[in-house]
Amino acid sequence: MSKADDVFIGMCKEILDKGISSEGEEVRAKWTDGMPAHTIKRFAVVNRYNLSEEFPILTLRPTNLKAAIDELLWIWQKKSNNINDLNSSIWDSWANDEGSIGKAYGYQLGIKHKYREGEFDQVDRILYDLRHTPYSRRIIANMYNHSDLHEMNLYPCAYSMTFNVTGRKLNAILNQRSQDVLVANNWNVAQYAILIHMFAQVSSFEAGEFVHVIADAHIYDRHIPIIKELIQRTSYPAPRLLINPDKKHFYDFTVDDFLLEGYQTNEQIRNIPVAV
């Protein structure tokens, strides 16, 4: 069994068995038919993945890794907030007529800040610290900028990364305020596992432990039957992640530099209803 499958199944069972329903509460999210999108949730879910053992991608159903990496590069490499720089339609619902999602995600990472060593944006500061002071306990990126929240079309969900080097292993914590478990969980896990691998490779470290902290891990009411079926599926061994070893600079990576070898999965789930 893929360990990512095991973690996912355990999390879903805990939400279904011990979660709290929002029925009777006024909720922001709605289904496309206008009905309120209620959830069952657990507070403060913490999942751990050892990236030196396997790449954490689901086999219970396929995760489109190339599309996930494309969004990751849009945010962390291009530092863009415009969907015209993205090769998918996943952000279309939050974009204006010009394609902007406001001062969110990549926009925040691209803002330059003053440090004693000079001016850096948040991504370049991480690269600088991993090169010059890798054992610092201050290697953090944070996209939750309160002064700009009113100009964001969606507040950041996955909003901060804390990096920590132990020996020759690069570890990281992803903090997420809210997550739609069915739609987004493994998408985010695979993305940020890739990010750790990228930073590790260009900084001459090995990818270590990835800790994912979710403040509000929820399953929408119309997703419950899908989740129950999904976690009963057969799990397969995790695939092997292959990364182009010639890429030595963070900004040189492309989607095509990552390949999954032996990725065996169950069939995809079609027409999942999405709450907005």
Going through the chain in order, the beta strands assigned E by DSSP cover 20-21, 39-50, 113-115, 118-120, 139-142, 158-166, 169-176, 179-180, 206-220, 240-243, 258-261
Is 12 an active-site residue? no
- Active site residue: 139, 141, 157, 198, which one? 157
84 is an annotated ligand-binding site residue? no
Residue 97 assigned as binding residue: no
Cα angle for residues 252, 76, 257 (degrees, 5° grid): 35
Is 177 annotated as a binding-site member?
A: yes
At 49, which amino acid appears? Y
Q: Is 243 annotated as a binding residue?
A: no
Token reading at 90 = 């996943």
Judge contact between 65 and 59, C-beta under 8 A. no
Write the CA distances from 179 to 85, 132, 185, 216, integer angstroms.
24, 34, 7, 6
Q: Which residue, 263, 229, 224, is CA-closest to 59?
A: 263
Q: Does 178 belong to an annotated binding site?
A: yes
The answer on whether 271 is annotated among ligand-binding residues is: no
Q: Is 138 annotated as a binding residue?
A: yes
186 is an annotated ligand-binding site residue: no
Task: Say if residue 188 carries a ligand binding annotation.
Answer: yes
Integer-rounded Cα radius of gyration of the chain: 19
Q: Binding site annotation covers 240? A: no
In sequence order, the β-bridge partners of residue 30 are 36
Binding-site residue numbers are 64, 137-138, 177-180, 188, 218-220, 275
Binding-site residue numbers for dUMP are 137-138, 177-180, 188, 218-220
**Could you list the active site residues?**
157
